[in-house]
Amino acid sequence: MKKQNKIILGLTGGLGSGKTTVARIFKSLGAQVIDADKLAHACLKKGSNVYQKIISVFGTRILLSNSNIDRKKLGSIVFNNCKMLRKLNSIIHPEVIRMMTDDISSSRARVVVLDVPLLIEAGLEKIADKIVVVNASRANQVERVFRKSKIKREEILKRIRCQMPLSKKAKLADFVIDNNGGLKETRRQVKQIWRRMWKS
Ligand code: ATP
């Protein structure tokens, strides 16, 4: 992609590490951001292929009275069972990847940021020119997600434990952002990546 004067940045990191915050800073510098979570929500739409497959695996117990998928219920099942979470991801990921590649090819931005929590787990690092991993301590992850969502702390920890350890992700990274400090410090690191990413 870089050859065509375009850079695809794969942005990833653990739950509540600060991906959206970092993506927002990249956007303020001129990047287009593609948010995998938003695409994943869109592909759960009633009647879609993904919708049908999810019902065939999880049953109609995960439906609301209006037949839409109850994402809270689905979450409570999969976050208590990493195997079921992997199953759910194997249904959703191919569709999200399809939507994402369409969005990338139609984008006219010079820098496209893919905000994908499971970038590496989904094999999406292959379509990125550079990988950016956002890192935050587990204590900060739990505290920030708790403040944002009010999900119980032990529930947050369960979700974090289902994810690939950050240390493993960081090994594949071209850039690692330490988001343990204040936003000013994070902004400084993002700007540094913005300057450096064309050079290598
Ligand atoms: P998720 O995995 O839930 O999608 P995320 O990785 O996208 O989360 P954010 O939503 O960016 O993470 O950040 C989680 C919360 O922590 C947000 O409320 C955000 O405002 C806050 N936050 C992010 N970075 C910092 C920081 N450096 N200092 C203080 N608060 C922060």
Give the H or E element holding residue 184.
helix 183-196
Which residue bears the tokens 């995998």? 36
Q: What is the mean pLDDT of residues 107-133?
A: 92
For residues 97 and 124, the answer to whether their CB atoms sit within 8 Å is yes
The pick from 20, 22, 33 for probing ligand 1's pocket by mutation, whose C-beta has the most ligand atoms within 8 angstroms, reads 20
Which residue bears the tokens 């959703």? 92
Residue 1 has pLDDT above 90, yes or no: no
Going from N- to C-terminal start, the domains of the chain cover 7-197
Q: At what angle do helices 82-106 and 49-58 cross, to 10 degrees?
A: 180
Q: Is 18 in the pocket of ligand 1 (CB under 6 A)?
A: yes
Convert the pLDDT of each residue in 173-196 to its tens digit: 999 999 999 999 999 999 999 999
Whole-model pTM: value is 0.91
Largest CA distance in the chain: 54
Q: Which ligand 1 atom is at minimum distance from the Cα of 21?
A: 11
Report helix, strand or coil for 112: strand
- CATH assignment of 7-197? 3.40.50.300
Q: What is the mean pLDDT of residues 73-93?
A: 91
Quickly state the pLDDT bin for 200 (edges 50, 70, 90). low
Q: Is 179 in the pocket of ligand 1 (CB under 6 A)?
A: yes
Count of C-beta atoms within a 10 Å radius of residue 22:
26
Distance 20 CA to ligand 1 centre (A): 7
